[in-house]
Copies of this chain bind each other. A is one copy, B any other.
């Protein structure tokens, strides 16, 4: 793969990577409802404030969130609302994956259009 093309995918994957953590997905979801300070998000997530602050810096760096200083606190908000469009797809896929996994406990599939049953959810494949 040529370098410029690789760079393109590199830049895109950085954004996907920023969304590839449960706490960060939660933050995006929460900020889509309303802006929040670090302390509020920390409270909701239940991790150390430094951990949450670092998650926010990753989201900032990816351009997904924005912040504004308000007195002693930082008020974060969603900067790229288009990522919310991902959520519907994610939910659908999670649902389908669960069905696939259940199905694979009975049928070992193997073709297009039916479960591949190659996952490790059975503990043995």
CB pair B82 A92 closer than 8 Å: yes
Is A15 engaged at the interface, CB distance under 8 Å to the other chain?
yes
Residues 1-59 of A at the B interface (beta carbon under 8 Å):
1, 5-6, 8-13, 15-17, 19-26, 29, 44-46, 57
CB pair A16 B13 closer than 8 Å: no
User: Do A89 and B97 contact each other (CB < 8 Å), given the known contacts A10-B22, A13-B21, A60-B118?
Assistant: no
CB pair A1 B45 closer than 8 Å: yes
Say which size band chain A's interface belongs to: 35 or more
- The minimal Cβ–Cβ distance linking A119 to chain B, given in whole angstroms, is 5
Where the two chains meet, the residues of A that have a C-beta atom closer than 8 Å to any C-beta of B are 1, 5-6, 8-13, 15-17, 19-26, 29, 44-46, 57, 60-64, 66-69, 77, 80, 82-83, 85-94, 96-97, 100, 110-113, 116, 118-120
